[in-house]
Structure 1
Amino acid sequence: MNVNFLALVLAALSTLVVGFIWYNPKVFGNAWMKEVGMTEADAKGANMAKIFGLALVYAFFIAFILQFLVIHQFGVFGTVEGNVNDPQYKAFMEAHGDAFRTFKHGALHGFMTGLFLILPVVGTNSLFERRSFKYVFIVGGYWAVCSAIMGGIICMMK
């Protein structure tokens, strides 16, 4: 199986789009800033090129691993150790091909990854950092939504 780098880049870019909406002051932006103790002046004094650039790199890392969780065919590919000539692989692909390669299916698995993997990581870190549950729900919710959209994009782009 080939890695679709265009899908991974688009999925990574989607996190910025979601972030512009999610962290808008009219949505969760003000609540998030209050939870992290940030002011408008603090936000304006940041190196945004560095922040958005690194955020995009990190989102690409997430997208890269997410493809293996949302595309079932990668599991079969791994089972035959990458041997596309293996009769089991050929039989599976003949029988199922691109089954479940939809936005909806990828979004489901992406959301489950966000909810059951990323949210607990954010929550655990937040416990030690003495952050509030409100912070956990804002940041964890963001990543659950992002993971769903990323999973959908990755899964549907063959």
Structure 2
Amino acid sequence: MDFLNPIAILVAAISALVVGFIWYNPKVFGTAWMQAAGMTDEQIKGGNMIKIFGLALLFAFMLAITLPSLVIHQMGAFSLIGGDASLALPSYDAFMNDYSDAFRTFKHGVFHGVMAGIFIALPILGTNALFERKSAKYIFINSGYWIVTLGIMGGIICGWR
């Protein structure tokens, strides 16, 4: 079974930018984020957008490649055989025949993506923000984005085979 669907990985990475366009829109959280981050319109407009969005897409792609190990349970069995199914014992094939589709839904991927957002992204962003002397508002806006984004990315990767 192939766990890395390249189209799902690409769509999941692009979804991070789509969610960001919505999340950080001034009519949603953009204005509140700018205030909490101490950013001005001039600073926002003065950035190198090709560099910013290019790197953002690269980072989202890196996350999307890593997410299958968090949102697809069968990756655990695959990792136990060293990643080469041709070298696995017959019990691996029997297991995969019985359970290859277990918990492979969009909904289940969203659940694990959201959990990754809460238990990985929030503590990392929160710790950085505390040392940067940022507000709770800043932490929750940025962490909220990653919780939603990782949920969507996880759903895409887990549900799309």
- Give yes or no for the alignment of 1:90 onto 2:93: yes
CA distance in 2, matches of 1:120, 1:83: 34
- 2:5 corresponds to 1:4: yes
Rounded to whole Å, the distance in 2 between the matches of 1:133 and 1:64 is 30
CA deviation map 1:50-87 (0-9, x unaligned): 11100000011111111110011111111122242422
Single out whichever of 81-90 and 15-24 deviates more from structure 2. 81-90
* CA distance in 2 between partners of 1:57 and 1:147 (Å): 15
Query: Which 5+ residue runs of structure 1 have no aligned equivalent?
Result: none
Q: Does 1:16 align with 2:11?
A: no
Q: Aligned residue pairs: how many?
A: 158
Counterpart in the other structure of 2:27 = 26
For residues 108-155 of structure 1, give each alpha carbon's deviation from its aligned partner in whole angstroms, at most 9, with x where no partner exists. 000000111111000011111111111000000000000000000001
Aligned match for 1:153, one of 133, 153, 156 = 156
User: 1:60 matched to which residue of 2?
Assistant: 61
Runs of 4 or more consecutive aligned structure 1 residues displaced over 3 Å after TM superposition? none
1:110 equivalent to 2:99? Answer no
Distance 2:90 2:126 in 1: 44
Shift of residue 16, structure 1, vs aligned partner: 0.7
The percentage of counterpart residues that share the same residue type is 59
Scaled by the length of structure 2, the TM-score of the pair is 0.94
Q: Which runs of 5+ in 2 are unaligned?
A: none
- Map 1:35-54 to 2 at 5 A: 35-54=36-55
Alignment root-mean-square deviation, CA? 1.1
Counterpart for residue 73 of structure 2: 72
| Aligned match of 2:144 | 141
Instruction: Give the Cα–Cα distance (whole angstroms) in 2 for the partners of residues 10 and 151 of structure 1.
Output: 11
Give, in whole Å, the separation in 1 of the partners of 2:94 and 2:106: 25
User: Contact 1:108–1:148 (CA<8 Å) still a contact in 2?
Assistant: yes
